[in-house]
Amino acid sequence: MKTLLILQLAGFIIAAGIFGGLIASEDVYSEVQQTIVKVLCLSCIKLTPATDINFTFETVFDGDHPSFILENLSKGVVFLAFRADVCDACDIMEPHLQDIFEIDFEKEETIVVTKTVDGINVTFIHISLNHSPDYLIDSYELYDYQQVSGVPMFVWITYGYDRGFIKPFYATGYGTLQQNTGEDQQQQLLDIIEDAVALYKQNNHGNH
C-alpha cells in the first residue's frame, strides 16, 4: 500500500512538474493553439478546399495590406506560399515552388527570392506558420479569402483597376489547387503567376 502511494505521489508530482514547466518556460501552449487547434487540419478532415481562383480587391475584414507586401509590390508581383511543418499537401506542392523559382529550401525556412517573368519581377515569399517571423505569419489571415484556415495557401498579389483607382489585387488558392497531377499543379501555379504579371503590366503605369 505504501509503495503504491509513493508511486502515485511521485508519478503525479513528476507529471504535474513537467506540465507546469512546459507551460511556464516553453511556448508549447501557444504552439499547440496556433498550429493545431486554430488551423483547420485539412488532413484530419480528409477534404481539400474547392476554390475557383479569382482575383479580388477585398482583404479579409477589410484589413490593410502589410507594408512588406506594398514595398515588394512596388517592384513587381508578390507571390506568397504559406505552409506548416506537418502538411501533406504542402509537401506535394513544395517541389513545384522549388522548380519554378529554381531554388532549394527547407520547409521551416523563410525564403524571399525574386525571379523575372515577362520582364516583371515576381517576389516569392515562403512563409512557415511554425517558424517565420510574426509579421509574415500575421498576413495569413488577411489573405485567407475563404477563411479556410488551412495550408498550403498560395497568394498572388498584383495591381488591378477598381473604379478609377489602381489597387493591390490578389488571388488565393489552397491545397493542391484542385489539380491531380504534379504537372497540372505546377502549371496552375505558373498560369496564375502569368495572369498576375499580365495584370501588373496593364495596371502598373496607372499607379504612378
Partner 1 sequence: MKFKLKRLLAQCFFFIVANLGGLGIKTGFCYPFFYCHACPTGSAACPLRSLEISVINKNFNGRLFLYPLVILGMVGIITGRAVCGWACPVGLLQRATGKVARKLKRYVPLPKKVTRTIDQKGRYLKYAILIGMVILTPFFIGFMFTDLCPVGFLVGTIPISLLNPGEFIPSFYFYPALVIFILFLILIFTIERGWCRYFCPIGAILAPFNKISIYHVEVDKKTCVHCNLCSSVCPMGIDIPNMHRDPECILCGKCVTACPHSIIKFKRN
Q: Does 44 bind partner 1 (CB under 8 A)?
A: yes
Other C-beta atoms lying within 10 Å of the C-beta of residue 70: 13
Q: In DSSP terms, which residues pair with 120 in a beta bridge?
A: 117
Q: Does 118 bind partner 1 (CB under 8 A)?
A: no
CB of 74 to partner 1, least distance (A): 34
CB of 157 to partner 1, least distance (A): 23
Q: Judged by CB, which is closer to partner 1: 26, or 58?
A: 26
Stretch that binds partner 1, among 47-55, 160-168, 186-194, 196-204 (CB under 8 A): 47-55
Q: Which of residues 3-32 bind partner 1 (CB under 8 A)?
A: 4-5, 7-8, 11-12, 15-16, 18-19, 22, 26, 28-32
Contact between 148 and 174 (Cβ < 8 Å)? yes
Residue type, 125: I
Q: Map residues 160-199 to x or -, x wherever contact with partner 1 holds by CB under 8 A.
A: ---------------x--x---------------------
Q: Rounded distance, CA 60 to CA 174, Å? A: 15
Q: Judged by CB, which is closer to partner 1: 90, or 111?
A: 90
Residue given cell 520547409 in the structure block: 107
Torsion of CA 66, 68, 71, 76, to 10 degrees: -100
Q: Judged by CB, which is closer to partner 1: 71, or 88?
A: 88
| Collapsed DSSP state (helix, strand, coil) of residue 189 | helix
Residue type, 195: D
Cell of 37: 487547434
| Collapsed DSSP state (helix, strand, coil) of residue 3 | helix
Expressed in angstroms, the distance from the first to the final Cα of the chain is 83
Q: Which of residues 68-87 bind partner 1 (CB under 8 A)?
A: 85-86
Question: Where on the chain is the footprint of partner 1 (CB under 8 A)?
Answer: 1, 4-5, 7-8, 11-12, 15-16, 18-19, 22, 26, 28-38, 40-51, 85-86, 88-89, 91, 146, 148, 175, 178
